[in-house]
Amino acid sequence: MKLSRSQFWLISILAAILVLTILSYYILVQNGNISSEITEKNKVAPERSPTFMMMLMPISTISRSDVLLDISENSTKHIKGSIVIPYTSFIRGAGLLKSVPEISKILGDAGISSNDKLVIYGECMPCGGGPAPATYVYWMMKCLGHENVKVLDGDTEDWAAVGLLTNNRSTVRPITNYTWKFNPEFIASYEYVKSGKAQIVDARPFQEFNASSIPGAVNIPYDNVLENRTIKSEAALKDVFAGLNKNRPVVIFTDTGIKASVEWFALELMGYEAKIYSWQDWLNNQVPAGNVSA
């Protein structure tokens, strides 16, 4: 069948419109949220409430405006486009954080600014995995006054599982000055712990708690808030923290605070006012540790 000139032009115009529509959709996907196909594969679990997503970012909602920070130790695979800074880069001897000026220089040298929409992910595989390094760096960023920061609700393997790209190198960004505004809200001092103003939670394993702990502390091991190396559901966390009073502040501690940060993060998700402390600081103040088994 031979097409008339008008039919030929009509078909050509319709084909051009179709191509432009597909191209526009592709551009929208690349510059906005991850494609609807990925969203369907990685739907937010029902237990992830809107409140949770203020701190935990679903993989399906990552966009090009987000700055991904991989803080894994000894990782050889990263989400494509990530800046890679192992969490140990922020730590000096005895497992304590470096000074604020030192940390801000590390961030600035990596091209991270205080205005970035930061999404942190990564694990400490030598420690057996889990999000403790990510929640610890999140806590550190909150202490620096970084307002727009979240933890990725998943890891590199979850990212790759839905067909998204990974590589083995860090993204290089221009060096910048990281402007910090120190916020002590999430840090507990020795004096505050002794004041009796807060509930004290020992997040170390029961064996360590049973051997010696801060007087008056209750034991909620940090891994109680995890399931398959990720934060438990809202309903499950409600059971974990059933013995705590939501109207009183909570101080949570482990040896250095790194693993305590997982439980601190979970407490914050559940609406508690929480601070991190360290067992090492308690010991350094030469206060006799209470023997809870006595």
Mean pLDDT of the chain: 85
Please state, for a pLDDT cut of 70, what percent of the chain lies above it: 80
For residue 289, is it within any domain?
A: no
270 & 171 share domain? no
Q: Which domain holds residue 88?
A: 48-184
Number of domains in the chain: 2
pLDDT digits (tens, 9 = 90+) for 129-153: 789 999 999 999 999 999 999 999 9
72 & 145 share domain? yes
pLDDT of 125: 66
Task: Give the 3-state DSSP-derived string for 92-152, with helices as H, strands as E and coil as C.
Answer: CHHHCECCHHHHHHHHHHCCCCCCCEEEEECCEHHHCCCCHHHHHHHHHHHHCCCCCEEEE
pLDDT of 124: 78
For residue 11, is it within any domain?
A: no
**Domain end point (choices 160, 184, 208):** 184
138 & 191 share domain? no
Q: Average pLDDT of 76-93?
A: 93
56 & 176 share domain? yes
**Separation between Cα atoms, residue 220 and residue 235, nearest integer Å:** 17
80 & 165 share domain? yes
127 & 90 share domain? yes
For residue 139, is it within any domain?
A: yes
For residue 32, is it within any domain?
A: no
pLDDT of 73: 86
Task: Give the 3-state DSSP-derived string for 152-211, with helices as H, strands as E and coil as C.
Answer: ECCCHHHHHHCCCCEECCCCCCCCCCCCCCCCHHHECCHHHHHHCCCEEEECCCHHHHHH
178 & 250 share domain? no
pLDDT of 94: 77
110 & 142 share domain? yes
pLDDT of 95: 82
118 & 217 share domain? no
Q: What are phi and psi of 192, to 5 degrees?
A: -65, -40
Answer yes or no: is pLDDT of 23 > 60: no
pLDDT of 22: 45
CATH number of domain containing 246: 3.40.250.10
Residue 290 DSSP label: B
Among 11-15, 75-79, 94-98, 233-237, where is mean pLDDT lowest? 11-15
CB atoms within 10 A of CB 115: 13
**Domain end point (choices 129, 158, 184):** 184
Please state, for a pLDDT cut of 90, what percent of the chain lies above it: 66
| The two structure tokens encoding residue 109 | 């040298």
177 & 195 share domain? no
pLDDT digits (tens, 9 = 90+) for 170-227: 999 999 999 999 999 999 999 999 999 999 999 999 999 999 999 999 999 999 999 9
pLDDT of 47: 62
pLDDT of 35: 39
Does residue 97 or residue 75 have the better pLDDT? 97
160 & 239 share domain? no
pLDDT of 53: 86
- Dihedral of the alpha carbons of 83, 84, 86, 87, in degrees to the nearest 10: 20
Using alpha carbons only, give the angle 136, 58, 242 rounded to the nearest 5 degrees: 60
**Domain end point (choices 166, 184, 202):** 184
| The two structure tokens encoding residue 279 | 């067992």
Looking at the DSSP assignment, which residues form a beta bridge with residue 48? none
pLDDT digits (tens, 9 = 90+) for 226-284: 998 889 999 999 999 999 999 999 999 999 999 999 999 999 999 999 999 999 999 99
pLDDT of 157: 85
CA–CA distance from 22 to each of 19, 26, 125, 222 (Å)?
A: 5, 6, 42, 48
Tell me if residue 235 falls in helix, strand or coil: helix
**Separation between Cα atoms, residue 290 and residue 71, nearest integer Å:** 35
pLDDT of 28: 38
180 & 273 share domain? no
Tell me if residue 291 falls in helix, strand or coil: coil
Task: Give the 3-state DSSP-derived string for 37-53, with helices as H, strands as E and coil as C.
Answer: HHHHHCCCCCCCCCCHH
For residue 14, is it within any domain?
A: no
